[in-house]
Amino acid sequence: MADHFIPDLADRVKDHAARKAALRIRGGGTKDFHGARLEGETLDVAGYAGIVAYEPRELVLTVKAGTRIADIERALAAEGQMLAFEPPGFGEAATIGGTVACNLSGPRRPFAGAVRDFVLGTRIVNGKGEDLSFGGRVIKNVAGYDVSRLMAGAFGTLGVLTEISFKVLPRPPAEATLAFEMDEAGMIESVNRWSGQPLPLSATSWEAGVLRLRLTGASSAVAAARAKLGGTEIPDGTAYWDGLREQRLAFFAGEGPLWRLSVAQTAAPIALGPPQLIEWGGGLRWVRGAIEAARAREAAEKARGHATLFRGGDRAAGVFHPLAPALAKIHRRLKDAFDPAGILNPGRMDNF
């Protein structure tokens, strides 16, 4: 099947484009909860799985988009390497294509970079059923527009991801997690101040008056930072960060709405009512509970960011932050440029 997968997929897209019939791209289905509408006949891409090329000494990995994240992480771990953006999966069946399309990055994001920072190349089938490759398998490449990175966060509305190349990194040898009792404003100040110092920080998370800080790097550097920062070392650090990345912590349990406020890292505490968990050095504020969309958006804008209804709640009112008119115009044209018939995941990004 694998040999025919892309040509068959391209034919199917062409056929749907001719009929203007929507396709709903689906990997593992673990992120059906995320984004606005799910419309159209299911286009299953989980079957297109496997590592195309992995050369640890090149720091480059190429995978088929249906490959499960767990399988990728296993292959990388065997060589002492990792995807440094710590891809959240939200379930066993999660595929790398879905995580890239939804632009999901884990706790390491402010210190190592986002998913798009590690994308080197993509192969896609656009809405016209054309099999196209952009970027490549090399670390540096500026030939043509950076369409590969554009695919990260496009929710499949510009093309079906079929293959993706990533820059991978060695897994640092040592890790430690420290805990500090701190109020919200003090935490925001501290994590930003520490981020401006040469410390091996790799994650921060604050909830209910406790800041957890992860240090990752050479053993000597981690030891030196631990001595410098103080705090209490907690033994189950790794489990905590996994739980945060996969949203398995108690904070995330239950079916209530979850708002994601991505704001300036230094923004002052945002009082909204429901409890918050704050990661990404102050830049990502999860709000657990029902709040009016307009209020969430206004608060996020004041904090120089944007608000997304990440999970649950009333999706009908739109889940993503509205775009400025000039940007919305360009978005509309880009959508038409890649998917003129408007058949790829229509409505998944609200208007696109």
Partner 1 sequence: MNATAKPAGNHERRAEVSSALARRLPAHAVLTAREDLFPYECDGLSAYRQTPLVAALPGTVEEAAEVLRVARETGTPVVARGSGTGLSGGALPLADGILLSMGKFNRILAIDPLARVARVQPGVRNVQITEAVAPLGLYYAPDPSSQIACSIGGNVAENAGGVHCLKYGLTVHNIQKVAALSIEGDALELGADALDAPGYDLLALMTGSEGLLALLTEVTVKLLPKPQVAQVVMASFTNVEAAVDAVAKVIGAGIVPAGLEMMDKMATAAVEDYVHAGYDLEAEAILLCESDGTPEEVAEEIAKITEVMREAGCTRFAVSGSEAERLKFWSGRKAAFPAVGRISPDYYCIDGSIPRGALAKVLRRIAELSKHYGLRCANVFHAGDGNLHPLILYDANVPGEFERTEEYAGNILELCIEVGGTITGEHGVGVEKIGQMCAQFNPAELAQFHAVKAAFDPPGLLNPGKAVPTLNRCAEYGAMRVQGGRLPHPDLPRF
Cα–Cα distance measured from residue 246 to residue 250, given in angstroms and rounded to the nearest whole number: 12
Cα–Cα distance measured from residue 236 to residue 324, given in angstroms and rounded to the nearest whole number: 44
Given candidates 4, 144, 230, 316, which one binds partner 1 under the rule CB under 8 A? 144
Strands 41-44, 23-26: pairing kind: parallel
Q: Does 78 bind partner 1 (CB under 8 A)?
A: no
Q: Is-contact 213 222, C-beta < 8 A? A: no
Given candidates 1, 143, 208, 250, which one binds partner 1 under the rule CB under 8 A? 143
Q: Does 140 bind partner 1 (CB under 8 A)?
A: yes
Which residue from 39, 45, 25 is spatially nearest to 346, judged by alpha carbons?
39
Residues 30-59 touching partner 1, rule: CB under 8 A, are 55-59
Q: Give the position of tokens 């034919």.
A: 11
Chain centre to alpha carbon of residue 110:
12
Q: Give the position of tokens 């905590």.
A: 240
CB nearer to partner 1: pick between 305 and 347: 305
Given candidates 258, 263, 287, 343, which one binds partner 1 under the rule CB under 8 A? 263
Least distance (Å) from partner 1 to the CB of residue 167? Answer: 9
Interface region with partner 1, contact rule CB under 8 A, candidates 22-30, 85-93, 129-137, 248-256: 129-137
Which residue from 207, 213, 228, 224 is spatially nearest to 176, judged by alpha carbons?
213
Least distance (Å) from partner 1 to the CB of residue 344? Answer: 13
Least distance (Å) from partner 1 to the CB of residue 314? Answer: 18
CA–CA distance from 326 to each of 117, 237, 322, 331, 332 (Å)? Answer: 25, 44, 12, 9, 10
CB nearer to partner 1: pick between 155 and 251: 155
Residues 222-261 touching partner 1, rule: CB under 8 A, are 223-225
**Apex 150 CA angle, 144 and 154, nearest 5:** 150
**Apex 214 CA angle, 92 and 93, nearest 5:** 5
- The site map against partner 1 for 293-332 (x = CB under 8 A) is -----------xxx-x-----------xxxxx-xx-xxx-
CB nearer to partner 1: pick between 197 and 238: 197
Which residue from 33, 31, 169, 160 is spatially nearest to 89, judged by alpha carbons?
31
CB nearer to partner 1: pick between 12 and 171: 171
**Apex 352 CA angle, 293 and 141, nearest 5:** 110
Residues 172-201 touching partner 1, rule: CB under 8 A, are 173, 189, 192-193, 195-200
CB nearer to partner 1: pick between 95 and 265: 265
Q: Does 114 bind partner 1 (CB under 8 A)?
A: yes
Query: How many of the chain's residues bind partner 1 (CB under 8 A)?
Result: 87
Cα–Cα distance measured from residue 61 to residue 78, given in angstroms and rounded to the nearest whole number: 13
Least distance (Å) from partner 1 to the CB of residue 93? Answer: 25
